[in-house]
Amino acid sequence: MHYVIMGCGRVGSLLARGLERRQHTVSVIDVNSDSFRRLGPGFRGSTVTGVGFDRDVLIAADIGHADGFAAVSNGDNSNILAARVVRENFGVDNVVARIYDQGRAEVYERLGIPTVVTVRWAADQVLRRLLPVGAESLWRDPAGAVRLIEVPYHSGWVGRRIRDLEAAADTPIPAITRYGSGAVVNDATVLQSGDIVYAMAESARIPDVEAVLGAAPVEQ
């Protein structure tokens, strides 16, 4: 898979190296060519100097073949603009933008642009958003027998209690993310469109959990 990253600061460089370690191809965009030094001598991807929402710059980064785009520069406006250009003009649905302002992040989450707010774990969060669901565990026990994963769900589950999803998948769903903020699930929690759902499951059962929640609910 090919990924394009805008911003080669600490987060962008960590993200680029992390994707390369997973055998993906990477193009990194930054307005300052000196920033590419953070990638290190072992970086095998391409670098493009320029503004990340400029059409020619994006084409030079091979955005036409991109499986995902991450805007992680130090400017909220630039990140959002680039994410929208890539999604709306180049048809890349898998976009993530880093936003420093929590209030603005919630607005863009509602518009369907996933955002990452916190800085400390930003690289890991963006990586999990970019890669296919289930490819990266949020947590796993030392033996690898149990994993916490982000799990996709069919739109038919929207409007139902999270406890109904747990019962159908036969696995705990301890938390969700809604509009960029995490929340612990309780008996009254109802799934809303755009929620990110986290399931705790035995590794061997993850395909079954994803299959159940990825299909429409079966009416009893």
pLDDT of 147-169, one tens digit each? 888 888 899 999 999 999 999 99
139-213 to CATH, choices 3.30.70.120, 3.40.50.150, 3.20.20.140, 3.30.70.1450: 3.30.70.1450
pLDDT of 34-48, one tens digit each? 999 999 888 999 999
CB-based contacts of 36: which residues, under 8 Å, 6+ apart?
8, 28, 30, 47
- The kind and range of the H/E element at 143 are none
pTM given for the model: 0.61
Question: Which one has a higher pLDDT value, 50 or 103?
Answer: 50
The residues spanned by each domain of the chain are 2-130, 139-213
CATH code that applies to domain 2-130: 3.40.50.720
Assign 60 to helix, strand or coil: helix
For residues 74-98, give the mean pLDDT: 90
Select from 1, 135, 131 the least CA-distant residue to 65. 1
| 3-class SS letters over 18-32 | HHHHCCCEEEEEECC
Assign 74 to helix, strand or coil: coil
